Amino acid sequence: MPKNLEIKIKVTSLKELKNKLKKKRIGLKKILIQKDVYYSVDSGLLKLRIENGEKSLIYYQRDEKSKKRWSNYQVIKFADGDIENFCKNIFSTEINVSKVRELYIYKNTRIHLDKVKGLGSFIELETLVIDDLRNAENHFNEIVEILELDTKSQIRASYRDLLLDKKYDTDKIK
């Protein structure tokens, strides 16, 4: 199962981050219009991602309480067929998450600048483990430093969790 290291931080503006990326010549790869449909499962998280018309079923497990947010995940892509209806008939839908994501890539790190409906703006990093954990962690720390991210303000929850948690108030997160 593939593994990555993640961080998510609420931001008031994406402009400053875009300027830092531009300064380091890290260019925009593409804009992704995403809808994630989360389903009830016994463990981990299962979502159907519809991204610019392409569909993938994604299952992942992550310990939100650990010091570092390592995730194990699996992705299955679907070329044709009505997978959304298929999943709806099998699973109970928890919530839909809609977002516009700007994708940047630095080494083995996906940099997401997200505007999430109902939540606001976020930066999310996902550093893929290619050879070993230490190397991935070094690349992760490098981009955190380049972007001058305050790791103490990270959010240890998925967008699903944030939207489901009625007590969550994005304005109170610094």
Backbone angles phi, psi at 166, to 5 degrees: -65, -25
Both tokens assigned to 14: 């994406």
- The DSSP call for residue 118 is T
Class of domain 3-172: mainly beta
Cα 111 from chain centroid (whole Å)? 9
pLDDT at 120: 94
Residue linked to tokens 């959010």:
155
| Nearest CA-CA partner of 143 in 30, 31, 26 | 26
Q: Over its length of 174 residues, how does the chain's per-residue pLDDT go in tens digits?
A: 789 999 999 999 999 999 999 999 999 999 999 999 999 999 999 999 999 989 999 999 888 888 788 888 999 898 777 888 888 889 999 999 999 999 999 999 999 999 999 999 999 999 999 988 999 999 999 999 999 999 999 999 999 999 998 655 544 443
- The DSSP call for residue 167 is T
pLDDT at 166: 60
Residue linked to tokens 């309480």:
65
pLDDT at 99: 96
pLDDT at 170: 45
Buried b (16+ CB within 10 A) or exposed e, 49-85: bbeeeebebbbbebeeeeeebbbebeeeeeeeeebee
pLDDT at 174: 34
Q: How many C-beta atoms lie closer than 10 Å to residue 166's C-beta?
A: 6
